[in-house]
Structure 1
Amino acid sequence: MASAVKKLVVCGGNGFLGSRICKLGVQRGWEVTSISRSGEPKWEAVTDSKAPPPWARKVSWERADIFAPETYAPLMRGANYAVHSMGILLEVDYKGILSGRDSPLAGLKKVFDGQKPASAPVSTTTPGPARNTYEAMNRDSAILAAKAAAEGKVDAFAYISATAGAPGLPSRYLSTKRQAEQQLAAASESFSAEAAGFPTPLNRPIFIRAPFLYDVHARPFTAPIAAVAGAGTVLNNFTGGALTGFLGSMVTKPMKADEVAEAVIEALSDESVNGAIEVPRLAQLATKGWRNGML
């Protein structure tokens, strides 16, 4: 008797990594749903073509507001797996700068203002620009999605975190990622789920501590950055890890975006995988996932 088709929901499935997770889910024969504010991706932003790839026809591209769980909670019900892939690297309103509402100088100030106070939790009434903060996107949106996943009895929830910060990034980039991990881990324990505001314990949270991601075809500008990070990794290993605290992800071996997507799919599939997954384990899962995908 054939097993039932697995169902995967990707919050942020139209992004650089999220779209690749959707692709590999489809290649596994899963039923894949993407949740985002805009629906289907702008393909030239995530691939090397403006045309949608063939696999995209097998994904349900749903529009929903991550800060309004009622718009996507029904999609979580009956799903086997869910992924949150919606964090931000920089706190900049790119549309505001391009439209002239904000000056480039003001945008740069926002990027490098590491002393900016933490923002309050967002809601459906919070103005759009106020949502573009580390606290909102890296932490609060993940917790809201995880609550919907817990209520929907999803079997495993993967959160795309980060292995480390990087020079020039405010410390809040990484600290909000870790705060999300801590709250999701607490929500998986029956005695603390209610205290964390979860209706029911969260099943098998997985924290994907990804390094710098690159794709030489879809995003050529990531190739030289990856090369620098790769060289930094060699130097850091030579110095016994002395540069890790200062340079963070720039001395951590980068990975192809497709490799991390493979690792995410494999981590969800393997019931023994849970908690924080660092780069060496991600590489192992990616290799295992590639082999399983070829079967």
Structure 2
Amino acid sequence: MSASVPRLLVVGGNGFLGSAICRLAVGKGWDVSSMSSSGKPYATPAGHTPAWAPRVKWHAASAFSPDSYSTLIGESTAVVHTLGILLEDVGYKQSVKSGDVFGLVKSFASSLSGGDGNPLKSEEERKRGYEGMNKDSALTVLDTLISTTPPTSTQTRPFVYISAADAFRPVVPRRYIETKRQAEIEIMRKCDEHPEAGVRPTFIRPGLMYHPHIRPLTTLPAFLVDLSAKLSTASGLPNPFASKSPLHGALESLRTYPLHVDHVAAAVLKCIEEGRGGVVEVPEMRDWAGLGSKKKAEVGLQGQ
């Protein structure tokens, strides 16, 4: 990054992770903008506006309509894409926010019973589904960034995509993680094909994210997943399932530590500050948060 103040654009900045990124960024003195369909500033579950919120520029724009944010993205030196859905049932996010356990269970059941969905979806249905929210929206934003002229010819512009660890199956339909991985592949391809744009892609892959106050419904699942991950690590048992196995996602759910949403947000800013590209997994984010050391690869270390 240059010595000047970073100008950060957070796509979905009034959401769960997006708001945490905005809050930490303005705390660093960055120039922060958010774009979302509503354009409304972030508010707590109780409806309060936190003290940091007025320091963010809140914009109403659709990720699928480049004309609504092309100027905004052209003025940014870094872009973070946080849009995405875990379930295609539109009511699950509200259930999580309100702590409605029964509503959340209903949403999971609805998504699982829906299978892989209707391949003949309308354009609007696609935008609201896994393909639209997890993949197409990010690629449209990236295309818009690539089409703009960098502030300086030598400046590298980070594009951070919030992906996910493969740790939600079979509770969540496989299309969730498939669309995340498809987005990663397409983002990398587009950046490689347009080196003149100076865009550096970074893929953040958290598992379960929690916050005891903002998302109290996530606290108990986070505790249980954390406990299972510790037991799995302590056992030292190797993964007996191939990555393509239907059981792989279930096993990884038990082995992947949950992360506080602030730790994920801090990892995003660290990657931007330090010029880190590529994939960032849960062990690295835990290391950066001071929660434990990553296991060193044993291959080639025998006898040393």
TM-score by length of 2: 0.79
The residue that corresponds to 2:74 in the other structure is: 77
- Which residue in the other structure is 2:87 paired with? 90
The residue aligned with 1:162 is 164
Inter-partner Cα distance in structure 2 for 1:144 and 1:258: 27
Distance in structure 2 (CA, Å) of the matches to 1:202 and 1:88 = 29
Residue aligning to 1:215: 211
Distance 1:60 1:169 in 2: 34
The Cα shift of 1:39 comes to: 1.3
* Correspondence 1:142 to 2:138: yes
Counterpart Cα distance in 2 of 1:106 and 1:252: 23
* Deviation for aligned residue 1:44: 3.0
Instruction: Supply the distance in 2 between the matched residues of 1:208 and 1:6 (Cα, whole angstroms).
Output: 20
Q: CA deviation at 1:11?
A: 0.3
User: Structure 1 CA distance, aligned partners of 2:21 and 2:107?
Assistant: 34
Q: Tell me the CA shift for residue 43 of structure 1.
A: 1.6
Instruction: Tell me the CA shift for residue 202 of structure 1.
Output: 5.8
Q: Closer, same or farther in 2 for the Cα pair 1:259/1:115, shift >3 Å?
A: same
Q: Distance in 2 between matches of 1:230 and 1:40?
A: 34
Query: Is residue 2:25 matched to residue 1:34?
Result: no
Structure 1 counterpart of 2:210, which letter?
Answer: Y
Aligned to 2:266, the other structure's residue is in SS state helix
Aligned-pair Cα RMSD in Å: 2.8
From 237, 258, 261, the equivalent of 1:257 is: 261
Q: CA deviation at 1:74?
A: 0.8
User: After superposition, where does 1:1-295 map in structure 2 within 5 Å?
Assistant: 3-41=3-41, 43-45=43-45, 49-94=46-91, 108-117=109-118, 126-127=123-124, 129-152=125-148, 153=150, 155-166=157-168, 167-189=170-192, 192-193=193-194, 201=197, 203-237=199-233, 238=235, 239-242=237-240, 245-247=248-250, 248-271=252-275, 273-286=276-289
Question: Tell me, which stretches of 5 or more residues in structure 2 are unaligned?
Answer: 96-104, 151-155, 242-246, 292-304
Cα distance in 1 for partners of 2:257, 2:145 equals 32
Which TM-score applies when normalising by structure 1? 0.81
What is the deviation of 1:111?
4.2
Give how far 1:157 is off.
0.3
Contact (CA 8 Å) 2:26, 2:52: kept in 1 or not?
yes
Change (3 A) 1:85 1:188: same
Q: Please tell me whether the aligned partners of residues 108 and 172 of structure 2 are also in contact (alpha carbons under 8 angstroms).
A: no
How far off its partner does 1:41 sit? 4.3
| SS of aligned partner of 2:52 | helix
Number of equivalenced pairs = 265
Q: Percent identity?
A: 33
Q: Which secondary structure state, in structure 1, belongs to the residue aligned with residue 160 of structure 2?
A: strand
Distance of 2:207 and 2:143 partners within structure 1: 26
Structure 1 residue runs of 5 or longer lacking an equivalent are 99-103, 195-199, 289-295
